[in-house]
Structure 1
Amino acid sequence: MIRKAGLPLVIIVVIIVAGLLVWQLAGKGSAPVEAPVVEAPVEEEPIEIAEAPALEPEILEEETPEEDD
């Protein structure tokens, strides 16, 4: 009976051993080590907003098409 179940048993054992090896290499078998979070000081500088030149009303009137009623 062992000879009949030999190959499937070997395959199952190899899969289990490979899974445990991957588990250990991935660090799942030990406590995870987390790096400390260090925040750098941020210097805030005022942001200058450039203003667009104001459009003259004359230009707006010329570009606006007039509708006939």
Structure 2
Amino acid sequence: MGRVQERDWVAEANDTEEALKAALHAVGIILPSLRIDPASQGADGPRLIDLGRCNIGVAQKLTEALKKAAE
């Protein structure tokens, strides 16, 4: 991957991570481990955002938010 493409991917990943954090925060959800997956940064395969782990309460909030969005 060239340097320009790498910077483009990093910028897109950062923007996506921040947008997801903001959207989750807007509905009262915080995923403390949310981050760009460092293992996928140098890989030729798909670039990943790691949603991380959360407690049951956060998982329940996330479930409710997704259900509401699906209505």
Task: Please tell me the TM-score bracket, short chain as reference.
Answer: 0.3 to 0.5
Structure ranking higher on relative contact order (CA contacts 8 Å, 6+ apart): 2
> Going by fraction, where is strand more abundant, 1 or 2?
2
Based on CA coordinates, which of the two structures has the bigger radius of gyration?
1
With normalisation by structure 1, the TM-score equals 0.37
With normalisation by structure 2, the TM-score equals 0.36
> Going by fraction, where is helix more abundant, 1 or 2?
2
